[in-house]
Amino acid sequence: MTRADAFGMLLAFAARLITGAQGHWKGCPPKAEQRIYFANHQSHFDWVLIWAALPRELRAVTRPIAARDYWTATPFKHWITREVFHAVYVSRARTKDASGAGTEDQDPLEPLVEALSHGDSLVIFPEGTRSAKPEPQPFKSGLYHLATQFPQVQLIPAWIDNVQRVMPKGEVVPVPILCTVTFGAPLARIDGEDKRDFLERAHAAVLAQRPLTA
């Protein structure tokens, strides 16, 4: 076992100790198929939670997306994203162009396209930024472009519950509170569906995974 593997296991253990990191596979089994998981985004902790909720053998092939300027700034940040999480780096400035103003420039998605062509699975947060509101913000178009380019990859909606209580913005020490990740049924492709309808449908699919008791 390498140092990165050991560190990853330790991190997953810590995440489970603090949040329980329970994965509820409601709509699909945890299988080693190529998938894009898309989820609501409320905290820096979201990625770790999804990652810890996955079975161990899926963790190695499921990759997050990391902003290059922030996550390569120090050797430790670089090491943890590269070696432990196998992150896909994107440049933030260019991502903003593509997903923000709605230009059809495909270039910023290139690292993601490359990762998907390798057969890796991805976790993306289509809101683009963390939001403190109970309902997720409208989705950015990146998910749509990836979905049309890779029609064979399953699109799995996921809802991450409670995580904003674990570590609110500006705090450093997490509070132990049980969190869950609910994975829904793969989003169906509809031929000829336009971008806006698709994104609304994806948004609704994520929201539909929210547990009723919360």
Partner 1 sequence: MGLRALAVNEQVALLFVIVFGVLLVALIVWFALSLREMGEPAQQRHARFARDLRAVWVGAVLFWLAWMSGAVGATLLFGIVSFLALREFITLMHTRRADHRGLILAFFVVLPLQFTLAGGRWFDLFTVFIPVYVFLAIPVVSALAGDPARFLERNAKIQWGIMVCVYGLSHAPALLLLEFPNYGGRGAFLLFFLVVVSACAQITQEAASRRLRAMPAARHIDRSFSARAWWLGVIAAGLIGAAMYWATPFKPLQAFALAALAAGAGTLGELVMRALKRDAGVASWGNASALTGAVGLLDRVAPLAFSAPIFFHLTRWYFRV
What is the contact surface with partner 1 in residues (CB under 8 A)?
Answer: 20, 22-25, 162, 165, 168, 171, 173, 175-178, 180, 211, 213
73/175 with CB nearer partner 1: 175
Q: Is residue 38 a contact partner of residue 159, using CB atoms and an 8 Å limit? A: no
Cβ 176 to partner 1 shortest distance, Å:
4
Cβ 182 to partner 1 shortest distance, Å:
8
Return the HEC string of 114-143: HHHHCCCEEEECCCCCCCCCCCCCCCCCHH
Residue 20 φ then ψ, to 5°: 80, -35
Q: Would you give the end-to-end CA distance of the chain in angstroms?
A: 39
Cβ 86 to partner 1 shortest distance, Å:
25
Neighbour tally for 176: CB within 10 Å: 10
171/194 with CB nearer partner 1: 171
Residues 6+ apart with CB under 8 A from 9: none
100/134 with CB nearer partner 1: 134
20/111 with CB nearer partner 1: 20
Cβ 23 to partner 1 shortest distance, Å:
7
- Structure-block tokens of residue 152: 């064979």
Cβ 54 to partner 1 shortest distance, Å:
12
Cβ 166 to partner 1 shortest distance, Å:
9
Partners of residue 22 on adjacent β-strands: 180
26/201 with CB nearer partner 1: 26
24/195 with CB nearer partner 1: 24
